[in-house]
Amino acid sequence: MTYSDRERDPAVPMVSVAVRPGPRRTRAEVSGEIDADNCGQVREALGAALDASATGLDVGLSALTFCDSSALHLLLDLHHTATTTGKTLVLHAPRPQFTRLLDSTGTAPVFTIHTPPPAHPSDPPAGRYAVTGGTGGTGGGAAGPAHHRPHTIDPATGHDDVP
C-alpha cells in the first residue's frame, strides 16, 4: 500500500501548522503528515509566517510524522525566500526519518538545524550517536583514533529499522 492509497478521515486534519508570532522571529510547529495533497496549505501558512516575521522563522518538526519530496521542496523554497529577503529559516527537532531524507538528498547542509540537547549529558544526541574510539584494550592503550576527531553514526544507516 502506498501512502496515497491510505484511507483518510476527512474530519481529522492530516497536518496542522500552529504559528506563534514573536517580536523578532516567528515560531511555527508543524504536526502530522505533509504530502503533495496538502503541501500547498502548509506552504501558505509557513510563507505567511515568514513574511510576518522581522528576522526569520523557526519551524518545529518534532511532531512531523511523514513527509515526501513535496515537503522537502517546500522547505527548500522557504529557505530560498528567507535568504533572499534577509531572514533566516531554522528547523527545530526534526525526527530521524526527516534527517535521513535530508542526508540522502544531500540537502542537509542547506539548512540550519537545531536538535534538542540529550536528556542526560552522557546520552548521545537524538538520532545520532557519538563515537570517539576505543581505549585500545584494558591495558590503558591508545585513548582513541590517531586523528582524535569525533565521528557520528546514524543508527538507521547500520540497521534496517525505522524508528
Mean pLDDT of all residues in 82-96: 96
57 in Cβ contact with 78 (< 8 Å): yes
Mean pLDDT of all residues in 44-70: 96
pLDDT class of 149 with cuts at 50, 70, 90: very low
Query: Mean pLDDT over all residues of the chain?
Result: 77
Quick one: pLDDT at residue 9? 55
Global confidence as pTM: 0.67
Distance CA 42, CA 10 (A): 17
pLDDT at 155 over 70: no
Quick one: pLDDT at residue 117? 79
DSSP for 28-62? Answer: EEEEEEE-TTTHHHHHHHHHHHHHH-SSEEEEEEE
Mean pLDDT of all residues in 115-139: 52
Place of cell 497536518: 15
Mean pLDDT of all residues in 12-40: 92
pLDDT at 35 over 60: yes
pLDDT class of 116 with cuts at 50, 70, 90: confident
CA-to-CA separations, 78 to 10, 48, 89, in angstroms, rounded: 28, 11, 8
For 106, phi then psi, to 5°, come to: 75, 15
Quick one: pLDDT at residue 103? 94
Q: Where are the alpha helices (DSSP H) in 30-158?
A: 39-52, 69-84, 96-105, 155-158
